[in-house]
Amino acid sequence: MKYSYVSHLSCPKCSIVYSCDEPQHLCEACGSPLLVGYDLSSLKTDWLKEDLTTRAPDLWRYHELLPVQNKAHVVTLGEGMTPLIRLSSLSKEIGIEPLFLKDEGVIPTGAFKARGAAVGVSKAKELGVEEIAMPTNGNAGAAWSLYAARANIKSTIVMPIDAPKITRNECAVSGADLFLVDGLISDAGKIVSQAVKERGIYDVSTLKEPYRIEGKKTMGLEIAEQLNWELPDVLLYPTGGGVGLIGVYKAFKELQALGWLKNDKLPRLVAVQSSGCAPIVEAWKEGRRESSFWENSETVAFGINVPKAIGDFLVLDAVYETEGCAVSVDDSALLQEQKLAAEKEGTFICPEGAACFAAARKLREEDWIKKGESVVVLNTGAGIKYPDTVDLDVPTLGPDESIPASS
Amino acid sequence: MKYSYVSHLSCPKCSIVYSCDEPQHLCEACGSPLLVGYDLSSLKTDWLKEDLTTRAPDLWRYHELLPVQNKAHVVTLGEGMTPLIRLSSLSKEIGIEPLFLKDEGVIPTGAFKARGAAVGVSKAKELGVEEIAMPTNGNAGAAWSLYAARANIKSTIVMPIDAPKITRNECAVSGADLFLVDGLISDAGKIVSQAVKERGIYDVSTLKEPYRIEGKKTMGLEIAEQLNWELPDVLLYPTGGGVGLIGVYKAFKELQALGWLKNDKLPRLVAVQSSGCAPIVEAWKEGRRESSFWENSETVAFGINVPKAIGDFLVLDAVYETEGCAVSVDDSALLQEQKLAAEKEGTFICPEGAACFAAARKLREEDWIKKGESVVVLNTGAGIKYPDTVDLDVPTLGPDESIPASS
């Protein structure tokens, strides 16, 4: 048994194959992101579901289906196997039964970005990388800089001055070379590109290295295992860069190839966006295979404020091939769902995750989600990383006062 | 097989026994906190370590040793089985090998308080409680109000106006009746006591209900299981109210009674406090069995700012009986360790957890921790809940600037 059954990289657009034994970024011919391939036919005979039973509850339990070839290169903070919890109260409220929440707030750094960083940094270490750079809207930079610190890899992070303060602190505390830019994520991207070009730093911008998807993929593997290899009918995913959705789809396809799934059909994948930044939704509505740049994007759900994703065509492919859809929701609706999830289920989710509840409600009302269909909603991070989305109106008492009788 | 082998409550001071089938708070005779008892001799024959293999990675995997008798009453957000990670860089730096971090930041609500809340709220539900109240310095209130929301139990939370803002938001979003008090935790306590007395609300103040300890206990059970039932030589714990340390000690004693441990001796337990609030340390130095109120306490580690803990005698018992010790560290030292843990290990711990690293360093320097002894440090929460402890000095670039050459 090998630790990893990784075999190659390939371009999903022009099918050129690359080695996974040396640093590789976008396809050299067409500029597309690359996907990681595995020797699934060998794995099908060598690997059994039962092998998982005695493994630790982290994402490395799926190491055969991850790109790191030598266990010694694994850089881990114990990430993965986040809770999949049943939501009984919201279930009744929205009319979806069963309704599950995959809670990616319960992970190092408090957001799903930890998965991409753990696998991406580990593979970078395996490839001998000594320095990485990336632009970020916050959570990705936090995760990558902390995992890089653990791997003793130097990191350079550039983030918009408006990115959430907590993620800025995470980057700073990691010892990264952190720069704020008085501009947007696209400005941060330009600054990183220049540094990468001039200094030969390993570029870990979204989808510019192929291994982040593999980390995100483990969300799909876990959902399958947690549901005893019987996938839900529908899965809703907050979609910014879309790496998570691409990863989850890839996971399901790989499990299908291994013959581990009880389902004949894959879940219908739903890309959820904010109506203030909905390029994928617009493209899907028009039946297009790529999205257009969304001008003047704006939403409280910072993580899905991505006007044009480099992997948009992969997201749209996944949606079309699973007969899913793309839905946008208003900020006011998602903020309401965030509060409701806390009040009814005790779970303080992030605005991006809350957007999926708003979308689920909408799709149930439109009967796109049928009565009795099982639904998983993915929450990408902890609500505590976004303290300002909660509207507070708290009474203050003096030390000698008592709680008012009306309460 | 019963779901729980809970048998009774008993007073550790005067040995009076109480039923665990109805609400019970402090000992009616002497005012001491009560401890939960189990039928360990039946459990010793009925329960095998191997039974755990196929259970989900949350704290309910130890349900036989928890007080909830009917599985239907379990209120869970998937809490528990937090990572136990090896720290190789800090190991070298501090001279302790092996050095492990039990990371309680990777749990719903981002702090170890979730464990006490999950078990406490579940038992409250089992006992038919409809309304709870508590004073809090932040994290406990956040956890209890969110779990109460999930259980459909009303909660009243009173917190000092200076408590961390993020925890205030968590309480608010849960729909709790939240009040700030322009005073200290002791003022909040008085307000809660009055409400409890006047309205018959179930009091869940620290150790005033017996089940929170049981939740915290699971940290000890997990550490044992994660180390394959071979406990470390030393365990350091940030000590405010001390419930965690009491719980971990109880766990080790119960595992000893079940015959599951490979060790003859239990780990030496170290209670770590800030030099700005060190009543347990002072009591230990003088060989006393109870602490005295610490006047004008102050520390950046908000969670261990407890001038006089109601369970102080239980903490000191655990320290004496395991031949442990109590150590205080300066705020400046713990803040330095917080930064170092992030830079060297990629883990953004809370100030309370960082205090334990400062203490470990001190104890190693004094040779109280011997070369070659194994050490576990407990981090009670995520650094992201305390954004203001990180000192920031981040350069800002204009959109057309590039990263300075010196960097």
- pLDDT bin (cut points 50, 70, 90) of residue B164 is confident
Average pLDDT over residues A333-356: 97
- At residue B278, the pLDDT reads 98
The predicted-structure confidence for A138-147, as pLDDT tens digits, reads as follows: 999 999 999 9
Chain B: give the shortest CA distance to residue A312, in Å: 25
| pLDDT at residue A264, rounded to an integer | 86
Q: What is the structure's pLDDT at A407?
A: 58
DSSP-based three-state secondary structure for B111:
strand
The closest alpha carbon to B324, from B359, B277, B274, B278, belongs to: B359
Q: Are A334 and A277 in contact (CB under 8 A)?
A: no
**CA separation for the pair A113, A107 (Å, rounded):** 9
Q: Check B158 against A53: CB less than 8 A apart.
A: no
**Domains identified in chain B and CATH numbers:** 84-110+213-386 (3.40.50.1100)
How far is Cα B124 from Cα B36, in angstroms, rounded to an integer?
A: 14
State the pLDDT confidence band at A389, using cuts at 50, 70 and 90: confident
C-alpha–C-alpha distance, residues B154 and A395, integer Å: 18
Name the band, by pLDDT with cuts 50, 70 and 90, for residue B41. very high
| B5 alpha-carbon distance from chain centroid | 23
- What residues in B contact A178, CB-CB < 8 Å? 394
Contact B396 A174 (CB under 8 A): no
Report the share of chain B in percent with pLDDT over 90. 92
A390–B342: do the CB atoms touch at under 8 Å?
no
User: Do the Cβ atoms of B153 and B124 come closer than 8 Å?
Assistant: yes
Closest Cα in chain A, distance from residue B55 (Å): 9
**What does the mean pLDDT of chain A come to?**
96
Residue A37 distance to chain B (closest CA, Å): 29
Comparing C-alpha atoms, which of B111, B110, B85, B112 is closest to residue B99? B85
CB-CB under 8 Å, A82 with B76? no
| Smallest Cα distance from B329 to chain A, Å | 21
CA B365 to chain centre: 27
Distance from CA of B398 to the nearest CA of A (A): 5
Interatomic CA distance for residues B249 and B269, integer angstroms = 8
Residues whose CB falls within 8 Å of the CB of residue B110, separated by 6 or more in sequence, listed in order = A105, A110, A382, A384, B139, B381, B382, B384, B385
Distance in angstroms (rounded) separating the CA atoms of residues A368 and A382: 28
Question: What pLDDT was estimated at residue A213?
Answer: 98
How confident is the model over A359-364, as a mean pLDDT?
A: 98
Q: What is the pLDDT of residue B407?
A: 58
Please report residues of A whose CB lies closer than 8 A to that of B108: 83, 103, 105-106, 347
Please tell me the distance in Å from A2's CA to the nearest CA on chain B.
24
Q: Do residue B81 and residue A57 have CB atoms under 8 angstroms apart?
A: yes
What ipTM did this prediction achieve? 0.96
In this complex, the residue of A106, A158, A339 whose CB is nearest that of residue B173 is A339
Residue among A242, A335, A253, A252 nearest A283 (CA): A242
Mean pLDDT of chain B: 96
Nearest CA in chain B to A52: B54
The mean per-residue pLDDT over the stretch B362-389 comes to 95
Tokens 């104890």 label which residue? B363
Residue A381 DSSP one-character state? B
CA dist A300 and A277 (Å) reads: 10
Nearest neighbour of B78 by CB, restricted to A83, A170, A402: A83
Please say whether the beta carbons of A101 and A347 come within 8 A: yes
Contact present, B222 and B80 (Cβ < 8 Å): yes
> Per residue in A310-326, pLDDT tens?
999 999 999 999 999 99
**Residue A300 CA from chain centroid, whole number:** 18
Residues paired with residue B202 on neighbouring β-strands, in sequence order: B132
| Residue A386 pLDDT > 90 | no
* Of A107, A194, A392, Cβ closest to residue B172: A392
HSE-CB at A286 with a 13 A cutoff on CA atoms is 10
Nearest to B105 by CA among B310, B371, B346, B363: B346
Percentage of the residues of chain A whose pLDDT score is greater than 90: 92
The predicted-structure confidence for B198-207, as pLDDT tens digits, reads as follows: 999 999 999 9
Contacting residues of A for B173, CB less than 8 Å apart = 338-339, 342-343, 348, 383, 390
The shortest CB-CB distance from B382 to any of A110, A158, A345 is to A110
pLDDT, position A406: 67
At B102, which amino acid appears? K
Is the CB of A179 less than 8 angstroms away from the CB of B110?
no
Using a CB-CB cut-off of 8 Å, the residues of chain B touching A383 are 169-170, 173
pLDDT tens-digit profile of A146-186? 999 999 999 999 999 988 889 999 999 999 999 999 988 88
- Give CA–CA dist A366/A327, Å, rounded: 12
